[in-house]
Every structure is written in structure tokens, then in C-alpha cells.
Copies of this chain bind each other. A is one copy, B any other.
Amino acid sequence: MAATEPLTAERILRATEEVLRRHGPAKATVVDVARALGVSHGSVYRHFRTKAALREAVTKRWLDRTSEALSGIAADADRDPESRLRDWLATLFAAKRRKAGDDPELFATYSVLAGEQGEAVAEHIADLTGQLTRIVAAGVDAGAFRAADPEATAWAVFRATACFHDPAYAPEWKTPGADADFAALVDLLVQGLRA
């Protein structure tokens, strides 16, 4: 028999995701995770102090995967700010919609998790609005956008598009007019930003 792999936080997180996928957020227990790994649940508590901490770590991972895809667009200083903004918003919407459509149950699971993790979600939102702020500020610097306070404006853009990234609105993302609605809203916002 091969030597047992060491029990790492990474392995626990992967097992937790699997358990969440199978059982859903309400029924997933630490005992289930330990069983899936073939260890005692006491061992899991060696890596994560509480069940809440474990759930938060899983949530953070999931949120960070979205942030990373977008940070590339936000940081691409070569492209003009308006197309970067449009691309960033479209990519965010597309990513959320794909996740919600591909595996609705898993998406619902993560939405529940996100709902209980005020802290992790707040950080994620701060990260995203930070990226938006950089795009808006770049636009102001380039003379393409007009914004007295780029941070406040970025926040306004983020909130204005909440319908297209807040999981609460997920059911509406697959309705026929969603793309047209999204395009109309982005056009309106970009128009409002132009110098």
C-alpha cells in the first residue's frame, strides 16, 4: 500500500467542496468531510479551528477564482479604458451566468455560503470595486471618462450592475431579454462616464 498522503489544508478544502456538492450547504458536516478523507474529524479541526472557518475558506477560494479572471482585464493598461470597462463587466456577468447555469445546485450552495460569510464577501467586493476604480481612474487620466471621485463612481457602476452579478438575481439571467438588458444598461453607464 502506498504511503498515505499527508493531510493538508488543501486536501481538506477539496474534500469539503466535494461534500458540499453532494450534500448541499445545510447537510454538509465536518464528520462527512473527515469520512471522505478517511480520517477522524478531530484531524480536520487541527487545520480549521471551526466549521465556520472551514466554510469561509471554501467560500474565499470560490470567490477568488472569479476575481483572478477579472484582474487581468483591469490591469491591462494597454487597452483603452472604455473597452476595458465593457469587457470587465461583460466577463463578470458571463462568468456568473455560466456558473449559475452549468450547475444551479452548486451555485445555490455557494450562494448560501456567501450569504453567511459577511467578511469574505465584503473583501471580495472590495477587490472587485478596487479593480473597477483602477479602470475608471485610468479613463479619467486618459481623458476618456469624467468622474469627480473615481472610487465613488466605480462603486456606483458596481451597484448599478448588481442585477447582473448578485446571485439573488440569478433566476433572471437565463431569461431571453437578459443580454439586451445588460447591453442597454452598460451603454447607459458608459454614456454617463464619457468626458
Instruction: Report which A residues bind B (CB closer than 8 A).
Output: 149, 152-153, 155-157, 159-163, 168, 180-181, 184-185, 187-193
Contacts and interface: CB of A to CB of B under 8 A. Distances in A.
18 contacts: A152-B181, A152-B184, A153-B188, A155-B181, A155-B184, A156-B181, A156-B184, A156-B185, A159-B160, A159-B163, A160-B160, A160-B185, A160-B188, A160-B189, A189-B189, A191-B191, A192-B192, A192-B193
B152 A180 contact: yes
Given A159-B160, A189-B189, A190-B192, 12 more contacts: A149-B184, A152-B181, A152-B184, A153-B188, A156-B181, A156-B188, A159-B163, A159-B181, A187-B192, A188-B193, A189-B192, A191-B191
Contacts of A155: 181, 184
Copies of this protein, total = 2
A168 B159 CA distance: 13
A193 to B, nearest CB: 7
Nearest to A192: B192
A188 B153 CA distance: 8
A188 B155 CA distance: 11
Count chain B CB atoms within 10 A of each CB in A159, A168, A190 and give the residue with the most: A159
A192 B123 CA distance: 30
A180 B153 CA distance: 11
